[in-house]
Structure 1
Amino acid sequence: MMTTSNYAGIPDKFAQLETAKVVLIPVPYDGTSTWGKGADKGPDAFLKASENMELYDIETDTEVYEQGVFLADPVTENSSPEAMVKAVHDVTKDFIKRNKFVTLFGGEHSISIGSIRAFNECFDNLTVLHIDAHADLRESYEGTKCNHACAVHEASQTTNLIQIGIRSMDAIEKTFMDEEKTFFAHDMVNDEYWMDKVIDLMTGNVFITFDLDAFDPSILPATGTPEPGGLFWYETLDFLKKVFEEKNVVGFDIVELCPNKNDKSSDFLAAKLYYKMLSYKFMDEAADEAYDNTYDVDYKSGTTNNSKFEDDED
């Protein structure tokens, strides 16, 4: 059960589906995780932290919530991993068809099988940018293809998959991995050009799936499978900002927050990460609108999400 009716406690006028540019879908699912349990509590902890976050972003000089963020009903299907993936796919695709910028917060990484499938059906020539400690490329695990260990296997077969931050994998995953599009953490730490190399491999439309264990556990310990040697805050923001500036990010999900009652910093980092990603997506539009409000100039932002369904009727 979610704890708030509006994302981050924003005023009702910015939280209505009809006018909001952004949709946030919580997916409190933890059906296939194998070590640290609790990712099903992640969305609730994220939303609580978001309510206590300042909504002015210093770096972009914007208040992105004014673009409108609609908090959708959580996807609670948990009868089977396959049923959960289908439910996530269906609700994600429905909101994409409404021409919304669709975001999801999990839940374990298996939810991304459904979200990636929906975005791949709706956007041409899609790049999936997978930011994670783990390769998640197993074809099947523990009797299902909808396991968290299989989160991007389907994407490896059907999209332009680029993986960054990887530092843990099984040998079998090498058979599915494109090493030219895989950036291992131990290489990234010595490569000052890794960000540019990643962006050069991308197509125009990009979906980001962000597993929070990509971060070093010294700054985000509250995740199911923490791995040493991860990303840090400002390098991650620098990279994400470049991606949003240079490519058309069509949506994203964030997964694998396993809240710890004794440590709220991880929840807050996840909340800030989500808000920073929205701020990067809409910073040009927000700046245009601020200029309009100041000088009463009537012009329209040119940003589009290039959805195949822009003109579809529900």
Structure 2
Amino acid sequence: MNNPSPTAWIDAETFTPLATADVVIVPVPYEATTTYRKGCQHGPGAILAAADQLEYYDVELGQEVCFQLGIAIHAAIADSQVQPDLTPEAMVREVERALQPLLAAGKFVITLGGEHGITAGVVAAYQAQFSEPFTVVQIDAHGDLRHCYEGSIYNHACVMRRLVDRGIPTLPVAIRSICQEEADLIAQNQIPVVWDHERGSDWIEAAIAQISTEQVFITIDLDGFDPALIPGVGTPQPGGLSWQVGTQFLKQLFCRKTVIGCDVMELAPLTDSVVSEFMAAKLVYKLIGYQALATGKLI
């Protein structure tokens, strides 16, 4: 399967040059450490292709969001089909280097993976660019807090551990699968966790109250959502966020905090269905819409 390389979000009508774009979508079709169902290197291309089927108009926001701010598609970086021998460590450095000039130019970057280990490089770029502290809000089925897995500290199962080790505050949300090592780390470091089985009617308010920083980065592993909605992931788990609840949480984050960037990871497209990539594309468009809403770009 080849990774398609569209140059516009949705279609040619919405094309925006990188220099004038408010939002830059960066595909990172990298896969090296996935441990169950393979295929997430095809996730970014599938999301961009599915975006061609989106309507311009966002029913919730009441506007054609794509015409209220410029959206550019960056060239793919760390592409496993182009660089099949790229190690996870080298990938992290390459992603960090590629994102830094975009952040320095004031772009709102949404990174598309690819395996979740990519987030280590993404967040490193934000740490280099932003002097003020930020919290990484993680929507995920898994803790991703192992120190090392299958011989690599940059395995997708270790990505949040790398951030914790850097002293970055985190808020994992919709978690429903961890190992003993991760449970011990959560207890020792007193990491606040929104466990999926404990979410009540007021969980969004309680979750946001646990974020101590004004700035927030959002990392979304698509298995954080109910697999009935997005089955095309590498390591699905029962439970998870519904569409309405998940997007409501994201909207509240954008409206009540300063979201500095996002990533959407771990889409592994199914061969006989387009549901997962379309849901992921719709989710990315929601992130763009909420950023436009939060920054006063909607009319």
Could you tell me the TM-score, scaled by structure 1's length? Answer: 0.87
Q: What residue is the counterpart of 2:175 in the other structure?
A: 166
Over the aligned positions, Cα root-mean-square deviation in angstroms equals 1.4
Tell me the secondary structure at the aligned position of residue 102 of structure 1.
Answer: strand
Aligned equivalents of 2:260, 2:269: Cα separation in 1: 28
**Stretches of 4+ aligned residues off by more than 4 angstroms:** none
Give yes or no for contact 1:39–1:224 (8 Å, CA) kept in 2.
yes
The AA in structure 2 aligned to 1:110 is G
Give yes or no for contact 1:39–1:108 (8 Å, CA) kept in 2.
yes
Q: What residue is the counterpart of 2:112 in the other structure?
A: 105
Indicate whether 1:183 and 2:184 are aligned.
Answer: no
Give yes or no for contact 1:63–1:286 (8 Å, CA) kept in 2.
no
Give yes or no for contact 1:62–1:279 (8 Å, CA) kept in 2.
no
Aligned equivalents of 1:144, 1:261: Cα separation in 2: 29
Indicate whether 1:221 and 2:231 are aligned.
Answer: yes
Give yes or no for contact 2:170–2:191 (8 Å, CA) kept in 1.
no
Indicate whether 1:207 and 2:217 are aligned.
Answer: yes
Give yes or no for contact 1:153–1:176 (8 Å, CA) kept in 2.
no
Aligned equivalents of 2:255, 2:137: Cα separation in 1: 15
The AA in structure 2 aligned to 1:28 is P
Question: Deviation digits for residues 216-255 of structure 1, max 9, x if unmatched?
Answer: 1111111000000111100111111111000000000000
Q: What residue is the counterpart of 1:137 in the other structure?
A: 145
**Matches of residues 149-298 of structure 1 in structure 2 within 5 Å?**
149-157=157-165, 158-177=167-186, 178-179=189-190, 181-188=192-199, 191-202=200-211, 203-283=213-293, 285-287=296-298, 290=299
For these two proteins, the number of residue pairs brought into alignment is 285
Alpha-carbon shift at residue 64 of structure 1 (Å): 2.3
The AA in structure 2 aligned to 1:144 is S
Aligned equivalents of 2:37, 2:119: Cα separation in 1: 19
Aligned equivalents of 2:21, 2:33: Cα separation in 1: 33
**Matches of residues 17-36 of structure 1 in structure 2 within 5 Å?**
17-36=18-37
Alpha-carbon shift at residue 174 of structure 1 (Å): 2.0
Q: What residue is the counterpart of 2:93 in the other structure?
A: 86
Aligned equivalents of 1:10, 1:230: Cα separation in 2: 35
Name which one, 1 or 2, has greater alpha-carbon Rg.
1
Aligned equivalents of 2:191, 2:75: Cα separation in 1: 39
Aligned equivalents of 2:20, 2:13: Cα separation in 1: 13
Aligned equivalents of 2:216, 2:23: Cα separation in 1: 16
Q: What residue is the counterpart of 2:64 in the other structure?
A: 63
The AA in structure 1 aligned to 2:182 is E
Aligned equivalents of 2:184, 2:92: Cα separation in 1: 24
Aligned equivalents of 2:191, 2:95: Cα separation in 1: 30
For structure 2, the residue ranges without an aligned partner over 5 or more in a row are none
Q: 1:89 to 1:180 in 2, by over 3 A?
A: closer
Tell me the secondary structure at the aligned position of residue 151 of structure 1.
Answer: helix
Give yes or no for contact 1:27–1:105 (8 Å, CA) kept in 2.
yes
Give yes or no for contact 2:44–2:112 (8 Å, CA) kept in 1.
yes
Alpha-carbon shift at residue 180 of structure 1 (Å): 5.0
2:124 aligns with one of 100, 111, 117: 117
For structure 1, the residue ranges without an aligned partner over 5 or more in a row are 291-314
1:3 aligns with one of 1, 5, 11: 5
Q: What residue is the counterpart of 2:103 in the other structure?
A: 96
The AA in structure 1 aligned to 2:255 is E
**Percent identity between the aligned chains?**
37
Give yes or no for contact 2:92–2:120 (8 Å, CA) kept in 1.
yes
Aligned equivalents of 1:282, 1:250: Cα separation in 2: 12
Tell me the secondary structure at the aligned position of residue 173 of structure 2.
Answer: strand
Could you tell me the TM-score, scaled by structure 2's length? Answer: 0.92
Aligned equivalents of 1:29, 1:180: Cα separation in 2: 29
Aligned equivalents of 2:240, 2:206: Cα separation in 1: 19
